[in-house]
Every structure is written in structure tokens, then in C-alpha cells.
């Protein structure tokens, strides 16, 4: 999809709709069976992201953690009614490579069907919790193709202890093709610099690094490589009022609470400086 202003590609804006405690860093302190015991802030924070997007006139893709959709179907309907794409982040936010193929299939099938029942439209896209499509979950794209997905956005071409496939392709490509059906992968965006892939995509990288780093990387991707980028954000990342918990995270540290109060302003600049569309439109699937 060409940018009508300067010919640069239009980027994909994405939101992983999960609550402040539904993240891998909190697995040990707030396990899945306890989720209902914690204050839910996902609906109001998602509304805040919707307001930001409305202000900028941008549309994006919301990868909804479907456990939340069961409890807050109204927010899913508001996302769709505002012209954004509804996709899924799975049901229970379990790391893909820690599940069997059958467990993964059950989680994603339930997630997809629940969302389709709420919005009355097919769900085309999936994003794995913690980008956990790695060499250890090489079977996962086959499951997505079986379930009728058209695209995935779970591969992060970086080296990290929790996720990453440093040798994976950096821009959209067909990850599986069978019986005339294709599953397209939209990898999380990186900048190739001095022989390494630097993470760019959003989330903690957006909160921790200065805005000018993100702008530099996005411009390199759009102008030099002529490729679309994907940016991702979580609703809790613009919520400085969320409860404070002690967590060391799976890596031995956690960036969860860094710059929560500054992220909304960065997002506003990003939405002003670049053009965005839902992922299905960027991939020309709609
Ligand atoms: Zn997530």
C-alpha cells in the first residue's frame, strides 16, 4: 500500500490487548488461575488507545487476548465499530513453545471463535504471547493455516532469552503455503545496523529508548529499505496508575514499569510522524 504523500510504505499499527498482569514477567507472581482476583484496567486503557488513534485519524490491528474478550465483549465491539481490525493474541497468554501442538491448537481455536462470535466477522491474524514463535515451535504456523488464519505476526528476528529467531526474514513473507492457501508472516520490525538486527517494534523498546531512536529506525526501514514497519503497544503501557508488584521477570529483570508516564506522548508523535493502517490492509489481505 503506497503512501500517497511521499511514496513511503504505510506501516502497521498494532495493539496487544492484555491487562497489566497478563504478561510473561508476572507469570510467577500472578499465575493464570489467579487472574480474576486482580483489578481489571484493560477496558479503560484500551479506550485510551482508541482515543489516541481517533485523534490522529489512524487505524490499526488489535490482537485481543480472548480471556479479556469473554469478560469485556463491549471493548471488542468498540474496536471493530471504530474501523480497526480485530485479531487474536490467543486465549490464555501461554508461551507457544511451552505448549504441545494440541494445547496450542485448542487455545487459538477458542480464541478465534470467541472473537468471531462477538464481531460477526472472520479473524485473519494471530500474534503469539511474548513473540514465542521460535525454532522450538516450528509446527505453530501449520496449526494457524489449519485454523484458517491468513497471517501471523509473532516472529522477532532478534536474539533474546525469551524469544527471537535472529536469522528469520525481517519483512513480510509467506511462512507456509499448502493446497493453494498461504499464511503470511509479518515479523516484528528490526533495524539492520552494523551487522545486527536492532529491535525497533514497540513495547518496552518504545518505552525505554528515546523517541528519536524509533524515528531513526522507522525512517531507515521506510526510506532506505522501502519496507513497512510494524509497531506494537500494550494498553497497560500508557497507564502509570496501575498497581505496583515486585517482579524480577523471566530474564532476571523487568522493564514493565519503565516510562509508563511518557509513552502516550511518544505514541502521539509516532502517529503524527508516520502513516499507519491495520495489518490486513498493509498485507493487502482485505
Ligand atoms: Zn502479550
- What would the pLDDT profile of 173-189 be if each residue is shown by its tens digit? 999 999 999 999 999 99
Ligand 1 is an ion; residues with CB less than 5 A from it? 16, 18, 129
Whole-number Å distance, alpha carbon 16 to ligand 1 midpoint, is 6
Q: Classify residue 182: in a domain, yes or no.
A: yes
Report how far ligand 1's centroid is from the alpha carbon of 163 (Å).
Answer: 12
Domain boundaries, position 46: 11-282
Residue 97 belongs to some domain of the structure: yes
Q: Is residue 264 situated within a structural domain?
A: yes
**CATH (domain of 156):** 3.20.20.370
Domain-located, residue 6: no
112 falls within a domain: yes
Report the number of distinct structural domains present in the chain.
Answer: 1
**What is the Å distance from ligand 1's center to 233 Cα?**
10
- The pLDDT of 198-223, averaged and rounded, is 91
- 4 located within any domain: no
Alpha carbon of 6 to ligand 1 centroid (Å)? 33
Q: How far is the CA of 93 from the centre of ligand 1 (A)?
A: 6
Mean pLDDT across 236-262? 81
pLDDT at position 4 is 45
Q: How far is the CA of 204 from the centre of ligand 1 (A)?
A: 12
pTM for the complete prediction?
A: 0.95
Return the minimum-mean-pLDDT range out of 75-79, 163-167, 220-224, 282-286: 163-167
Expressed in angstroms and rounded, the spacing between residue 131 Cα and the centre of ligand 1 is: 8
Is residue 2 a part of any domain in this protein? no
Q: Does some domain include residue 75?
A: yes
* Three-class DSSP labels, the chain: CECCCCCCECEEEEEEECCCCCCHHHCCCCCHHHHHHCCCCHHHHHHHHHHHHHHHCCCCEEEECHHHHHHCHHHHHHHHHCCCEEEECCCCCCCHHHCCHHHHHHHHHHHHHHHHHHHCCCCCEECCHHHCCCHHHCCHHHHHHHCCCCEECCCCCCCCCCCCCCCCCCCCEEEEEECCEEEEECCCCEEEECCEEEECCEHHHHHHCCHHHHHHHHHHHHHHCCCCCEEEECHHHHCCCCCCCCCCCCCCCCCCCCCCCCHHHHHHHHHHHCCEECHHHHCCCC
Amino acid at each position: 500500500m503506497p503512501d500517497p504523500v511521499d511514496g513511503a510504505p504505510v506501516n502497521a499499527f498494532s495493539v496487544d490487548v492484555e491487562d497489566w498482569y497478563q504478561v510473561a514477567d508476572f507469570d510467577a507472581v500472578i499465575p493464570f488461575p489467579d487472574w480474576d482476583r486482580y483489578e481489571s484496567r484493560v477496558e479503560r486503557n484500551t479506550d485510551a488507545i482508541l482515543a489516541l488513534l481517533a485523534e490522529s485519524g489512524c487505524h490499526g490491528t488489535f490482537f485481543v487476548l480472548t480471556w479479556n474478550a469473554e469478560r469485556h465483549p463491549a471493548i471488542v465491539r468498540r474496536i471493530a465499530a471504530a474501523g480497526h481490525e480485530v485479531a487474536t493474541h490467543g486465549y490464555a497468554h501461554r508461551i507457544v513453545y511451552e505448549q504441545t501442538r494440541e494445547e496450542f491448537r485448542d487455545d487459538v481455536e477458542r480464541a478465534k471463535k470467541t472473537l468471531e462470535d462477538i464481531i460477526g466477522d472472520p479473524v485473519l491474524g494471530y500474534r503469539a504471547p511474548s513473540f514465542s514463535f521460535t525454532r522450538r515451535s516450528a509446527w505453530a504456523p501449520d496449526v494457524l493455516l489449519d485454523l484458517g488464519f491468513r497471517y501471523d505476526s509473532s516472529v522477532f528476528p532478534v536474539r533474546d532469552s525469551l524469544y527471537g529467531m535472529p536469522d528469520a526474514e525481517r519483512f513480510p513473507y509467506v511462512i507456509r503455503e499448502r493446497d493453494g492457501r498461504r499464511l503470511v508472516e509479518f515479523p516484528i520490525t528490526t533495524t539492520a545496523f552494523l551487522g545486527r538486527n536492532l529491535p525497533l517494534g514497540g513495547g518496552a523498546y518504545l518505552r525505554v529508548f528515546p523517541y528519536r531512536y524509533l524515528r531513526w529506525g522507522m525512517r531507515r526501514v521506510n526510506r532506505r529499505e522501502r519496507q513497512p514497519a510494524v509497531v506494537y503497544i500494550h494498553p497497560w503501557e500508557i497507564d502509570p496508575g496501575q498497581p505496583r508488584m515486585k517482579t524480577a521477570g523471566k530474564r532476571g529483570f523487568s522493564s514493565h514499569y519503565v516510562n509508563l508516564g511518557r509513552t502516550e506522548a511518544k505514541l502521539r508523535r509516532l502517529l503524527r510522524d508516520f502513516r499507519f493502517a491495520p495489518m490486513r490492509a498493509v498485507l493487502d489481505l482485505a
